């Protein structure tokens, strides 16, 4: 980490059809109390008036560097594009429907420099389109938890992500060390990177509400969107995340599942734990990881293979019973007709 007192911070803004919000995001960055910043904006092939608004700011302010993409490369691709354009020692990433408190960069950087952190997140205000606070929204409780590294890992195991992506600040070295966002993912690309980091070093949370997360009136937040496509994508990607969870410390897995975990039985213990929660998505992810392990390294006799065979023969991961019941109801209806 640099000993420079005022390192350059790259504020990276990703925009897609945010004409209603992008000015608010840009203004919150331009007016930061910390001065040594550059602002990089990427428009991910918007079809609304976002580009026109950004171009007006780009002409007026030298510290803004604007890139307009001719094809939408999805959020992960857009974030990676921003990171690769950043010159700063520190990188702050935000979607242009969210925005910062004016002291966000200054206080978060001080927090990181004081302890030589390579990563940090902040707490967040939950707001609507008009910047009005939404104190009853469940994200207030999700994003604003006082969790240490161990407790955060436990939450990841039991419940999934709770970090506000718009609040992140990273030292550039951490992205060189662990890689960029996985461009194959659309819903959980941020969470997947946080898991890669936390497997190797602590994630740090500054318990100040310095980020404003907008719950949009049109319901088009990627993290809040509903519908079959979103559910299917989220479930598939969450299954993929379990390979990272399985690399957490055995002591931690034991604590969460309530059973002593070894390298051999941790798969079964986690699957049993998730089945008791009726969380078949997570359980299926663990089973898929176990399948991959068996394909590369096991010998008979194998207790791990025995567990695998028993589990995938026993649990209805794919909803076969549901399908059979639906077919039975259809047949019964047809007979009545």
DSSP string of 107-134? HHHHHHHHHT-SEEEEEEEEE-TTS-B-
- Is the separation of the CB atoms in 126 and 167 below 8 Å? no
Give the model's pLDDT for residue 299: 72
272-297 burial: b if 16+ Cβ within 10 Å, else e:
bbbbeeebbbbbbbbbbbbeebbeee
Q: Environment class of residue 100 by beta-carbon count within 10 Å: exposed (0-12), middle (13-18) or buried (19+)?
A: buried
**What are the tokens at 158?**
């039991």
Distances (CA, A) of 95 to 136, 221, 222, 248, 294: 23, 10, 11, 30, 40
Query: What does the alpha-carbon distance between residue 2 and residue 192 come to, in Å, rounded to a whole number?
Result: 27
Whole-structure pTM value = 0.89
Give the model's pLDDT for residue 221: 63
Give the model's pLDDT for residue 49: 98
**What are the tokens at 267?**
């798969």
Give the model's pLDDT for residue 323: 46
Give the model's pLDDT for residue 3: 41
Q: Which residue has the tokens 């911070």?
A: 9
Query: What does the alpha-carbon distance between residue 43 and residue 317 come to, in Å, rounded to a whole number?
Result: 40
Query: What does the alpha-carbon distance between residue 24 and residue 298 come to, in Å, rounded to a whole number?
Result: 56
State the distance between the two ends of the chain, measured CA to CA, in whole angstroms: 74
Give the model's pLDDT for residue 317: 60
- Is the separation of the CB atoms in 308 and 287 below 8 Å? yes
Give the model's pLDDT for residue 312: 73
**What are the tokens at 261?**
């975990």
DSSP string of 315-329? S-TT-HHHHHHHHHH
Q: What does the DSSP 8-state code read for residue 63?
A: T
The alpha carbons of the chain give a radius of gyration, in whole angstroms, of: 23
Residues of the chain with pLDDT under 50: 1-3, 322-323
Give the model's pLDDT for residue 223: 59
Give the model's pLDDT for residue 33: 98
């Amino acid at each position: 980490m640099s000993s420079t007192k005022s390192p350059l911070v790259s504020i990276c803004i990703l925009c897609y059809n945010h004409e209603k919000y992008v000015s608010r995001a840009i203004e919150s960055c331009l007016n930061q109390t910390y001065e040594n910043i550059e602002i990089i904006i990427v428009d991910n092939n918007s079809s609304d008036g976002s580009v026109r608004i950004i171009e007006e700011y780009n002409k007026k302010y030298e510290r803004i560097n604007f890139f307009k993409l001719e094809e939408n490369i999805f959020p992960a691709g857009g974030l990676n594009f921003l990171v690769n354009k950043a010159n700063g020692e520190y990188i702050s990433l935000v979607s242009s429907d969210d925005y910062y408190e004016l002291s966000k960069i200054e206080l978060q950087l001080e927090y990181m420099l004081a302890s030589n952190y390579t990563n940090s997140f902040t707490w967040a205000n939950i707001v609507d389109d008009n910047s009005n606070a939404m104190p009853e929204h469940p994200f207030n409780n999700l994003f604003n938890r006082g969790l240490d590294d161990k407790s955060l890992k436990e939450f990841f195991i039991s419940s999934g992500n709770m970090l506000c992506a718009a609040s992140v600040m990273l030292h550039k070295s951490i992205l060189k060390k662990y890689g960029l966002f996985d461009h194959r993912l659309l819903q959980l690309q941020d969470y997947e990177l946080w898991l890669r980091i936390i497997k190797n070093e602590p994630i740090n949370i500054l318990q100040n509400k310095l980020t404003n997360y907008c719950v949009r009136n049109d319901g088009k937040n990627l993290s809040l969107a509903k519908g079959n496509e979103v559910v299917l994508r989220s479930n598939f990607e969450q299954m993929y995340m379990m390979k990272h969870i399985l690399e957490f410390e055995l002591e931690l897995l034991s604590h969460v599942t309530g059973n002593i975990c070894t390298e051999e039985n941790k798969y079964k213990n986690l699957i049993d734990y998730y089945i008791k929660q009726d969380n078949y998505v997570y359980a299926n992810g663990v089973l898929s990881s176990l399948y991959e392990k068996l394909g590369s390294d096991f010998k008979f006799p194998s207790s791990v293979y025995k567990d695998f065979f028993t589990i995938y023969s026993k649990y209805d991961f794919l909803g076969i019973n549901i399908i059979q019941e639906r077919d039975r109801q259809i047949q019964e209806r047809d007979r009545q007709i």
